[in-house]
Amino acid sequence: MTVYTGGCQCGAIRFRVEGELSHSSICHCRMCQKAFGGYYAPLVSVRGADFEWTRGERKTFRSSNFVDRGFCGDCGTPLTYEAPDGIAIAAGAFDDPALLPPTIQYGIEGKLPFTDKLHELPGTRTEDDVETAPFISEIVSYQHPDHDTTEWPEERK
Ligand SMILES: [Zn+2]
Ligand SMILES: [Zn+2]
């Protein structure tokens, strides 16, 4: 059995999924854009797998008569899309999102026109920005690491 773990940025909420996750998608609809603060929402269905919250309790917003959107009340990370036919988890909240590549797009009538060209934009690496933003070299991350922890938060030095 494959085990997947993940959680929010601050680490107050953690989850665990046991089973095969084969339904990974992105949704371009306007509600998903808003709920994720993004151009589209990446979601992985956990239907048919064993899903459990292992730390904390998410908050939810009822975005329609059928759907709840779960998120961390402390840091705001979007976490779920909860419909009558099952729960989907925000793909980027998994500890290793690379394991769950999307295979289908939904709501393409809502697709923002530039979305298909994002990969054509010029890009830079973070370390290349040090000259323009010197604080980058001194950044200390308070983000929860990409694995389960027995205690969190760790003591800050
Ligand atoms: Zn959080
Ligand atoms: Zn949507």
User: The whole model's pTM is what?
Assistant: 0.93
Write out the residue range of the structural domain in which residue 34 sits. 3-112
Would you give the end-to-end CA distance of the chain in angstroms?
38
Going from the Cα of 32 to the center of ligand 1, the distance in angstroms, rounded, reads 19
Q: What is the pLDDT of residues 83-142, one digit of tens each?
A: 999 999 999 999 999 999 999 999 999 999 999 999 999 999 988 877 778 788 888 999
> Region 1-8: what's the mean pLDDT?
96
Q: What is the CATH number of the domain that holds 32?
A: 2.170.150.70
Using the mean position of ligand 2's atoms as its centre, give its distance from the Cα of residue 130 in Å: 37
Residue 63 lies in a domain: yes
CA atoms within 13 A on the CB side of 96: 9
Question: Among 45-59, 81-95, 136-150, whose mean pLDDT is lowest?
Answer: 136-150
CA of 81 to the centre of ligand 2 (A): 9
Provide the token pair at 101.
């590549």
Domain assignment present for residue 129? The answer is: no
Q: How many CB atoms within 10 Å of residue 92?
A: 18
Domain count, the chain: 1
CA distance 35 to 29: 10
d(Cα 107, Cα 6) in Å, to the nearest integer?
A: 26
Domain contains 119 = no
